């Protein structure tokens, strides 16, 4: 699977496919959860092909790349992930261009 170069989680674009460790597409990226003040990656929220939203904790995110996110869990395990909790604002990826992402742009606080 060619997912491109590795990127920092803050450079992920909304809608990139999310794959399990057994290379099954389990959803698309919706949100990146970040403790902004401490610069700690908390996890991601994905939308499954069925339209359900699931929370993926940071340790279960194995690789963030230009064209995909790869998890450390199998598709069967991903199917058992919980829905995201309602809580404080998250930082959502915008669709900014490569230069914008490179320079740290393309993010907004909701």
Give me the residue spans of the domains in the chain.
9-105
Query: What pLDDT does 103 receive?
Result: 53
Residue 106 has pLDDT above 60, yes or no: no
pLDDT exceeds 80 at position 71: yes
Q: Enter the CATH code of domain 9-105.
A: 3.90.50.10
pTM of the model: 0.77
Measured CA to CA, the distance from residue 81 to residue 94 in angstroms comes to 25
Q: What is the pLDDT of residue 2?
A: 87
Contacts of 92 (CB under 8 A, 6+ apart): 14, 31, 32, 107, 108, 110
Residues 68 and 6: their CA atoms lie apart, in Å, by: 9
Cβ atoms of residues 6 and 63 within 8 Å? yes
Q: Mean pLDDT over residues 59-85, rounded? A: 96
């Amino acid at each position: 699977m060619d997912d491109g170069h590795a990127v920092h989680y803050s450079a992920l674009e909304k809608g990139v496919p999310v794959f399990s460790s057994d290379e099954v597409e389990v959803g698309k990226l919706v949100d990146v959860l970040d403790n902004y003040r401490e610069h700690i990656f908390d996890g991601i929220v994905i939308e499954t092909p069925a339209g359900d939203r699931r929370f993926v904790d940071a340790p279960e995110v194995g690789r963030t790349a230009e064209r995909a996110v790869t998890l450390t869990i199998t598709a069967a395990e991903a199917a058992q992930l919980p829905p995201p909790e309602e809580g404080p604002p998250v930082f959502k990826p915008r669709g900014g261009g490569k230069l914008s992402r490179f320079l740290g742009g393309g993010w907004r606080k909701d």
